[in-house]
A and B are shown apart, each in its own frame.
Chain A
Amino acid sequence: MATVSDPPKEAFRLSQLIYDTRYRSMTIQIVALIGFLVLIGWLISNTAQNLADLGKEPSFQFMGEAAGYDINQRLIDYNNQDSHLRAAFVGILNTLLVAVMGCATATILGVIIGVLRLSKNWLVGRLMTVYVEIFRNVPVLLWIVFIMAILIETLPAPRDFRGDDPVASMKLFDTVAITNRGVYIPDPLFGADAKDDKGAFLDEPVGWRVGLGDYPVGASRDNPSCERYYATEGPGAGEPAAGCGTFQISLDLLLALAVLIAGLYASHRIKRRADRIQNATGVRPVTWYLRLGVVILPFAITLWALGFYFAFPELRGFNFQGGTHMRNSLIALWLALSLYTAAFIAEIVRAGILAISHGQTEAASALGLRPKRIMNLVILPQALRVIIPPLISNYLNLTKNSSLAIAVGYMDITGTLMGITLNQTGRELETVLLGMLIYLTISLIISAVMNWYNNSVKLVER
């Protein structure tokens, strides 16, 4: 009978921390951690020392002070008496606006170009290759300033629209004006937000007022932005007025959206019912008019009841009034980011389609699927699996590249918080770090959402 004796127990020696692989990893990690903490501590102590010398103790007090600068392109109400915090918020919304518009346009363009690049037509394929190479190999910042310069130099000035025989005219049945000061598009409004000629809100709205109006979030007497808006006398004394609060939520819009979503859900239910009937009887009831009506009719009635109308841009004096004014900076940034990113997306789409072997198509047609179903059921799900991960990183790149807005004066978060607020308050540390944190948050949210989507379309592998 063999006895196995344990090896003699050795006392722990200090040199084992270095030479024994069981302990070495702990040693390395602790040394790395200490090194990291020392580095951070060194940076922080330097920073504290430098800031104390400059007399700038780190604090975020300045965010509550009046910003004192105007932002010409904005999604929520803002004026130069509002706080830096609100200016930063306007900036974030502007960043998101251009990022969303850019991603949507870049995806559409990119898919079209990517597919056309694979076209059997030699000329079209070559043209798309030229497009991709030109846009990929020139810096995006150059595209942004270039397109900005082109917009300013080549588009007609508002005065060209004047006179009996104008040089330029409005596009799309006189609803859109493209000028070198920007593009004016119709502004969707609800009856309750009736504005006078100068674009200011009216006390007595024109026409009739049915809408729910805007709900001011955070309106109170303590909110500095509300001080001006509390009526001191008259019937509405003590009530917050329009334009007060941290921001307003358009209740009209919410209601209209709710009706639209309810309509879509009802339409979905009708389709499910038709499927059930078809499965039971083999005959599919005709439902397209029902499904269309249940979406459109309630939505249209709601819009009508809320007094929905478009405010069209009109030439008054030396400039256009009314409508939504998209400034050149926004247009240039949007176009440049879309065109630049579209070149990358086109390559991704092309690679994704090429990655699906031809055998898949043949196998699907051997199963008797029609070409459209082959595309929808076999090719696209597999191509998407290849396309989506690099697509995510391109969306992230586009969002990060939108920070180049500062080159053309579009007031995104870089332009407000890290631009003018930094210059006016001299708070480099706080503004730049906060700005980086905001971008980091946006990036992480986008990648989280897109990764979730990626997981949902991913083919289940063994």
Chain B
Amino acid sequence: MSTATEDKHSAALDAAESGATQHVTFRLRIRRFNPEQAAEPVWVDYELSMDPKEKLLDALHKVKWEIDGTLTFRRSCAHGICGSDAMRINGKNRLACKTLIKDVLGKPKNGVYKPITVEPIKGLTVLKDLVVDMDPFFQAFRDVMPFLVAKGNEPTRERKQSIEDRARFDDTTKCILCAACTSSCPVFWNDGQYFGPAAIVNAHRFIFDSRDDAGEQRLEILNEKDGVWRCRTTFNCTDACPRGIQVTQAIQEVKRALITRRI
């Protein structure tokens, strides 16, 4: 009776039920930098044997906890919400906690995998290993006034909004400020003066909020020399966003709002 169901067992289910994990051996190539030891960063390889279904953050933990405790990186929730572990993995900005090892491992050549490279995000000063100075990033965020500004009498209960009005800026409410977008933007890399996609996304979230009254002020800020007009629509930000926000579209919507309201 039970043989029928047993026949349907797939190999993967068998493996899962047996509790055995299929470990693979690969190298993690991390760009290490310690200003107290050397002026230049060095690439250091760590050989790991892990289940490829684990997250890249687990691999970093394995290095830090079992091989070299001096490895420094930011992480907090480890579930893609706090936005602290954005890094360049195989040359692409991603969250280490949302990236599975198997997705960046590639195919083995003669049984050997190419090393997975891990670097700090670009365009911000590296303090140590994978930790960068986020101050310029958050300064641009603060500059666009990322908070509700409402005039008039305060309502006794909540500020009501229709479903349509809420949907207008829904996409840009998802930002977790991980800086993956801003640090993937070639215009930001050059001199760090461009506001950057993240700040514009967070301005967009309030500019198109029907309850907010400071949209004009925010548009004025983004209309300046280092505002939205420096965007070259390379879509690096949209590709990098771990939350799937249509970042370039949000920037274009701010541009369109500026043109239609100024002319």
Does A pair with B?
no
Interface residues of B (CB under 8 A from A): none
Interface residues of A (CB under 8 A from B): none
